[in-house]
Each structure stands twice: as structure tokens, then as C-alpha cells.
Amino acid sequence: MATFAALRRFGLALPEVVVHAYMGQPSLRARGKMFVLWSEQSKITIMKLDRAHQDMLFEVSPKIFTPCKVGTGMWSYVDIAKLGDAELKALVVEAWSQVVPKKIRDALTSNAAVSPPRRRRSKAVARRSI
């Protein structure tokens, strides 16, 4: 069973994430963009998930995931008490990846983080080849 403490811990482990109050409730933001909002009192969690993935989750697990209209878009109400820590962590990373620039997201979520750095030619070598 996942907890709000785990949600916060997983979020703060990601690059550029801070906890910020929104309407008196804690939220996770990256570069000022919110991707998770929760209320410990009402046991509600709202996440910004990938559209196709959340649509699938609404169908497959309607007791855990339900639609949440946010502006003109759709986020997900998530009953985190019915999730394990590994599932919650994956959802937090997915929500975070919806708001951060591709370069930051790819550094964490793809093989780019483990690929060797590209070698740069020095200016002197570049001039000699002209």
C-alpha cells in the first residue's frame, strides 16, 4: 500500500522537483509546472498522466483511476492506497515526464543517461580541417 510520504519521496527524488502549496494542499512541481496534487485529509491524489495511458487505466482499473477534468484537459484521480510503491513510483515519473523539457526527461528515462558522452573536436582541430 503506497502512502503520501512515499509519493512525496518519489517526487522529490526527480530533477527540479519542489513541493508547493496549491489552494492549501501540497503539490509537486517541476519548473513551476504542477504534475501531482494531493490531500492527506480527503485521501485524494490527482496526477497528470499520459493521455493514452490514463484512458487505458480508466478502462482497466476504474476503482483506482478515474477522470479528473482540469481546465480543458483531463488528469487522473488515483487511489494510491490501492497501489504498491513500485507502481506509484512509475506513475510519479510518468506525471513528471509530462511537464519537464524533453532533454531532462530523456536524461532520466532513456538510455541517454547511460550512453557515453559524445567527443567534441577542439577549436584548433576544427580550424585545421578547414
The answer to whether residues 7 and 88 touch, using CB atoms and an 8 Å cutoff, is yes
- Per-residue pLDDT tens digits for 66-118: 999 988 899 999 999 999 999 999 999 999 999 998 888 888 766 444 444 44
pLDDT at 117: 42
Q: What is the pLDDT of residue 113?
A: 41
Structure pTM?
A: 0.79
Q: What is the pLDDT, as a whole number, of residue 119?
A: 47
pLDDT value at residue 76: 96
Listed ranges 17-21, 40-44, 110-114; the one with the highest mean pLDDT: 17-21
pLDDT of residue 37: 95
Q: 4-115 is classed in which CATH architecture?
A: Alpha-Beta Complex (3.90)
What is the secondary structure of 80-117 as a DSSP string?
A: GGGS-HHHHHHHHHHHHHTTS-HHHHHHHHSGGGTSPP
